[in-house]
Amino acid sequence: MVLKKERKILPKARRIVVKIGTSSITDKRFRLDPRKIGKLVEESMRLRARGKEIIIVSSGAIGAGVGRLNLERRPRDMSSLQAAAAVGQGVLMQVYSKYFGEYEQPAAQMLLTGEDFTDPRRYRNFKNALATLLKWGVVPIVNENDSVEVEEIRLGDNDTLSAHVAVGANADLLVVLSDVGGLYAGYSGKGRRGRLIRTVERVTPKVERLAGRASRGFGGMLTKVRATKIATSAGIPVVIANGEEEHVLERVVAGEEIGTIFLPERKKK
């Protein structure tokens, strides 16, 4: 396979942050689907076998709580969402631990809030803990602490969190998995997504306007695109791709033209 010029940097990535959106690991009723997690764990382990370090930023705690509590639908009020997340976070980690355990791969839970990135002492502690986990060969599984933090539930679906984690980890690549194939031009709200944009050299107001028209609900495309600015400004390329694609992680890292790549604005330090 001949790689596109802009994708040649991807196979060189050693430390990779994978953001897994709620839609990528839940069913149509927003309940956790363990089989989807198993698929992504399998792909992650194949990448680890090739010498890659994997950090997972995973949504899905609320969906796991909805399933465990046997709720008819996802709650809408904030206190119920937080309560569902409190129930579901343990379930989510159990599922990840089960599948990683099949490979005898240790995994660790890291629950963060916005202050872990704005307070210098807490940010330093986060980076030190993360570096130690990676040195020990552990796969960190990061999530927003939804039981105490409300902004991420309202707006982010862990998109912004994943960018901050990528920067703090000094990652080589951020892969954002969602239920869409990337950023589209000509999107309409009537089921027409338009033309997939394969490469974004820089996030401009025009790009943000395209993303804004494509945003729907939690963790919409605009939030993802704004998160890419955090990573790319630190020299980290970002790929947004559909988590339902077969072997999606391996294909992205191989440099295949899948999803939308956002090129780094400068070389990583």
Q: Is residue 145 part of a domain?
A: yes
Give domain status of residue 222, yes or no. yes
pTM for the complete prediction? 0.91
d(CA 135, CA 131): 6
| pLDDT of res. 156 | 53
269 found inside a domain: no
- The predicted pLDDT at position 194 comes to 77
Residue 86 maps to a domain: yes
**Any idea what the CATH number is for the domain that residue 63 is in?**
3.40.1160.10
Considering only CA atoms, which of 170, 155, 176 is closest in space to residue 228? Answer: 176
Is residue 267 situated within a structural domain? no
Q: Does residue 67 lie within any of the structural domains? A: yes
Give the structural domain span for 246.
Answer: 5-262
Tally of domains within the chain: 1
User: Does any domain span residue 131?
Assistant: yes
**pLDDT for the residue numbered 155:** 38
- Only one residue has tokens 């343990």, namely 90
Flag whether 66 is in a domain. yes
Predicted pLDDT of residue 115? 83
Q: Walk along the chain (269 residues) and give the pLDDT tens digit of each residue.
A: 668 888 999 999 999 999 998 888 988 877 889 999 999 999 999 999 999 999 999 988 888 888 899 888 888 888 888 888 899 999 999 999 999 999 999 999 999 888 888 889 999 999 999 999 999 999 999 998 765 555 543 435 689 999 999 999 999 999 999 888 899 887 655 555 678 999 999 998 888 888 875 544 345 788 899 999 999 999 999 999 999 999 999 999 999 999 999 999 877 66
pLDDT of amino acid 153: 37
pLDDT at 219: 53
